[in-house]
Amino acid sequence: MTKCSILLVDDFEDGVPNGWGGGVNEGGQPLGTWLVTDTGSGHVFHNQGVTTLSWSIGGNVSWTNYRVEADCQFVTIAEPVTTSCYLAIRYLDYMNLVYLFYQADGSLNLALGEASSYVTLGGVSRTPPVVGTWYALSLTVNGTAIQASLNGVQELTGTTLNIPSGGIAVGARDGVVRWDNVTVTAVP
Which class for 15: exposed (0-12), middle (13-18), buried (19 or more C-beta within 10 A)?
exposed
Q: Which residue has the higher pLDDT, 23 or 36?
A: 36
Within a domain: 181: yes
Q: What's the whole-model pTM score?
A: 0.95
Within a domain: 79: yes
Q: State yes or no: pLDDT of 51 exceeds 50.
A: yes
Number of domains in the chain: 1
130-157 exposure pattern, b = at least 16 Cβ within 10 A, e = fewer? eeeeebebbbbbeeeebbbbbeeeebbe
Within a domain: 14: yes
Within a domain: 130: yes
Cα(35)–Cα(174) distance, integer angstroms: 17
Domain ranges, residue 173: 6-186
Q: What is the pLDDT of residues 135-151, one digit of tens each?
A: 999 999 999 999 999 99
Within a domain: 34: yes
Q: What is the CATH number of the domain that holds 22?
A: 2.60.120.560
Within a domain: 1: no
Q: What is the pLDDT of residues 112-129, one digit of tens each?
A: 998 878 999 999 999 999
